[in-house]
Amino acid sequence: MRAAVAIVVMLAACSDPKLSLRYRLTHGDSQQCFSDSGTVTTDCQDVTMLCDAYLSVRVLRPTDQDAPYISVCEPLIHPQRKLCGIAGIDLEQPAMPIPEQTLEVQMAVFPKDAIHFDPISGVAVCPRVEFGANGLPVPALPFCDDPEPLNCPSVPAIGGRAFYHPGDDTTVVDLGCTDLAELTDAEVCNQVTLVDVTATVADFDNLVTSVDKQVADRLSVGVGEPKFDVINDTHELVSTKIHELDPVESTSPSWAATLDNPGFGNKACLAVRDDIAEATTSLTCRGLDDPTADFDIPGVFLKKDVLSTMLGAIGFAKFPAKGGLVVGMVINENFQPIPGQTVGCNGCTVSYLSDDRASVVTGGTSMSGVFVTRDAPFGTTFTVTSSVGPNVEPVIGGIVEGKVTIVILQDKGSVVGGP
């Protein structure tokens, strides 16, 4: 079955020729595709993907594999999880028309666990594929010891390449099922990953203990990972991507949940929202060494009136309609603010707030210990650049659309009264 891929690329020429792409499952004897019933098929509707899958499409000069005109790595979405979801991928036009020339078109489908996610932007990056003379992926690759994993080609579940030549009406890519079991093996794809998440929430004005029960009862607490929105050039954490945590009955309020395949990358943020009008969700984030392992995440609650005072200090009557805000504090081992400290965040603009947090001061933190920034991308590492002791650990934070991200930089020295 031949299906249209949603792409018509304009090529630079007087007559504005178009590169129109289509794909079909191979009709040849090599790398045949098998239907759900086990028979050979050329119909994408006959192939059900049990694993989440990503489509890679690259359009490039055959002589330059490192600088594609178009490179897309997008999840395949189909109501019945059929391979025909390939036809639903929209490919963006290149920034400039592509010079009319011979072009190589590469297509490949990978299971989600083969995809790399950029640690800063969260953008999906598909592996490269090595193709044979027949236009199908090479099914067995030699060992690659390159220290950068993305430089090593991978074997996709499905793939193929074709060439556009000037004057062609349509370029058809024959796709072979190189290792279809990566997407259709029930034993592999139906694995369930359960992640236990526990959380506590402290008040920004009292970081020593969890909030009291009266406050806890009106808080909504969940966990999620902000994702980069290419179109709006910002990170977002939409409500549908926040996994709700349940209150735990105890003397000190806490929250917990067992999450089924949460799909975290290398970061997670606790989202805390007060159940009052025009409240702003606060995020507190941490890195994850193993996204499938159980973890604990402390959160911080920022009262609406406290946030309003800080917004007024930097010239806002209310939370900005576009972008977000980072609010941080430098504290000692006893949770007390430390004045006279400077904060580093890889070139972002830091403002320090006065003792009453109602105005901006210069030179470093005041007696409030509070700092803010509006231009640190999510994933930024915050540090104290003036020494407050040997144990001030860096903290992950950054701007998330419509949210206030909390960054607490604490000296991890010996706590008074501790061991």
Residue 377 has pLDDT above 80, yes or no: yes
Give residue-wise pLDDT tens across range 283-312. 999 999 888 899 999 999 999 999 999 999
CA atoms of 298 and 307, how far apart (whole Å): 19
> How many angstroms separate the first and last alpha carbons of the chain?
70
| pLDDT on residue 260 | 80
Give residue-wise pLDDT tens across range 170-187. 889 999 999 999 998 877
Averaged pLDDT score across all residues of the chain: 88
Q: Where are the domains of the chain?
A: 2-189, 194-410
CA atoms of 267 and 379, how far apart (whole Å): 8
Share of the chain above pLDDT 70, in %: 90
When pLDDT is cut at 50, 70 and 90, the band that residue 394 belongs to is very high
CA atoms of 345 and 351, how far apart (whole Å): 12
| Those residues with Cβ within 8 angstroms of residue 3's Cβ, 6 or more apart along the chain or in another chain | 22, 23, 24, 44, 84, 86, 87
CB 372 within 8 A of CB 293: no
Residue 7 has pLDDT above 70, yes or no: no
Query: CA-based Rg of the chain, rounded to a whole angstrom?
Result: 26
| pLDDT on residue 14 | 53
CA atoms of 296 and 302, how far apart (whole Å): 20
When pLDDT is cut at 50, 70 and 90, the band that residue 5 belongs to is very low
Mean pLDDT of 13-17: 56
CA atoms of 198 and 254, how far apart (whole Å): 7
| pLDDT on residue 1 | 43
Q: Phi and psi at residue 349, in whole multiples of 5°? A: -95, 115
| pLDDT on residue 290 | 87
User: Would strands 33-34 and 18-25 be described as parallel, antiparallel, or unpaired?
Assistant: unpaired
| pLDDT on residue 16 | 56
pTM: 0.60
| pLDDT on residue 363 | 93
